[in-house]
Amino acid sequence: MMSILSVKDLRVTFDVPKRGAWPWTPPMKLQAVGGLSFDLEQGQTVGLVGESGSGKSTVARAIVGTVPATSGQILFEGTDLASMSVGDRRRHRRDAQMVFQDPLAALNPRMTVGDIVAEPLTTHYPEMKRAEVKKRVGEIMERVGLLPNLVNRYPHEFSGGQCQRIGIARALIMRPKLLICDEPVSALDVSVQAQVVNLLKELQRDMGLSMIFIAHDLSVVKHISDEIVVMYLGRIMEAGPTHEVTTKPRHPYTQALISSVPIPDPVLEKARPRPVLEGELPSPLNPPSGCVFRTRCPKARPDCAEPKDRRQYENGVRVDCPYFEVKDALAV
């Protein structure tokens, strides 16, 4: 199967001015993403999972081009985004669209729903006739479960779930090849979350979409993803097929994330082991040496502070730690 997207050793660094320093003082370096690599196959979904501040959204913005990559490669259909001309980048934006976390904040309150959904078409295809634009808007609204006669209403007249459907319609009206969903259900009720996830799965099947699904909740990601990448402080802790990662988590961080998901059975919930992470997420301005997770890892050893390659592979699963043991994995 062909990879529509290949991310190779992606690093994104931001300059942060020192508080109270002179203007000519060199800024501090904040590495939001450090050496991320993964492949997305045509028609498949990769889930990016991790705590807030792990760099998931930065990866998404680097892929669509709103944040420049400091180093590494982002290959979209074999073409490096860094080598694209202005015209090629504009065409890339047609093929890669985003759905954002806050459904209401992502919509212009001064525009009608019809104008919001049609805006990508009028921007990228100004020559398109008005009748064709209106037809496309009606078709995509109906496809995401909204009545076409709602086009003259404003975002504040809709619920959160409906606003997220509007955001999905706006992204898909361009008929993109890649859809990036940046925590699209975290602001919604649980029942509405299931509806939106099921809608995305249907749209992916019908339109042949490739998706990147970003979330901090593994219980949501495992229902929609084919591969899962677990991130911590901008690095990969574990990555592999969804079934392997969720049923046999090898990295202590993945085990802790899965243990935080409740099981709807009081007996099993009480009996299962529950590893607890201690401490707070370190500052990306001053990350720990060696393994960035070592300050919170219950299995940390002195040599974890040494900077060396810790990638280990087993059954297609990548774990950035040489000390993982399958027997310690949690069955979920």
Per-residue pLDDT tens listing for the chain (332 residues) = 678 999 999 999 999 888 877 778 888 899 999 889 999 999 999 999 998 889 999 999 999 988 999 999 999 998 898 888 888 888 888 899 999 988 888 899 999 999 999 999 999 999 999 999 999 999 999 999 999 889 999 999 999 999 999 999 999 999 999 999 999 988 788 888 889 999 999 999 999 999 999 998 888 898 899 999 999 999 999 999 999 999 888 888 998 888 877 777 677 767 777 767 777 888 888 888 888 898 888 888 888 888 766 677 777 788 887 665 544 433 33
| pLDDT at 328 (0 to 100) | 43
Q: What is the pTM of this model?
A: 0.90
Exposure of 190 by Cβ count < 10 A (0-12 exposed, 13-18 middle, 19+ buried)?
A: exposed
* 293 C-beta neighbours (distance < 10 Å), count: 24
Closest by CA position to 209, among listed 187, 237, 178, 181: 178
Contact between 2 and 36 (Cβ < 8 Å): no
- CB contact at 8 A, 9 and 75: no
Which pLDDT belongs to residue 22?
76
Two tokens at 265? Answer: 């059975």
Sheet containing 210-215: order of strands: 96-99, 178-182, 210-215, 45-49, 227-232, 235-241, 317-320, 311-314
The answer to whether 329 and 255 have CB atoms below 8 angstroms apart is yes
Superfamily of domain 3-232: P-loop containing nucleotide triphosphate hydrolases (3.40.50.300)
Give pairs for 270-273: CB < 8 Å, separation 24+.
Answer: 272/330, 273/330
Q: What is the Cα–Cα distance from 272 to 114, expressed in whole angstroms?
A: 50
Kindly state the tokens that stand for 221: 């990601």
CB-based contacts of 236, cutoff 8 Å, min separation 6: 35, 36, 37, 38, 229, 230, 318, 320
Token pair, residue 185, equals: 């259900």
Task: List Cα–Cα distances, 292 to 147, 214, 300, 313, in angstroms.
Answer: 49, 21, 11, 19
Q: Determine the pLDDT at residue 174.
A: 92
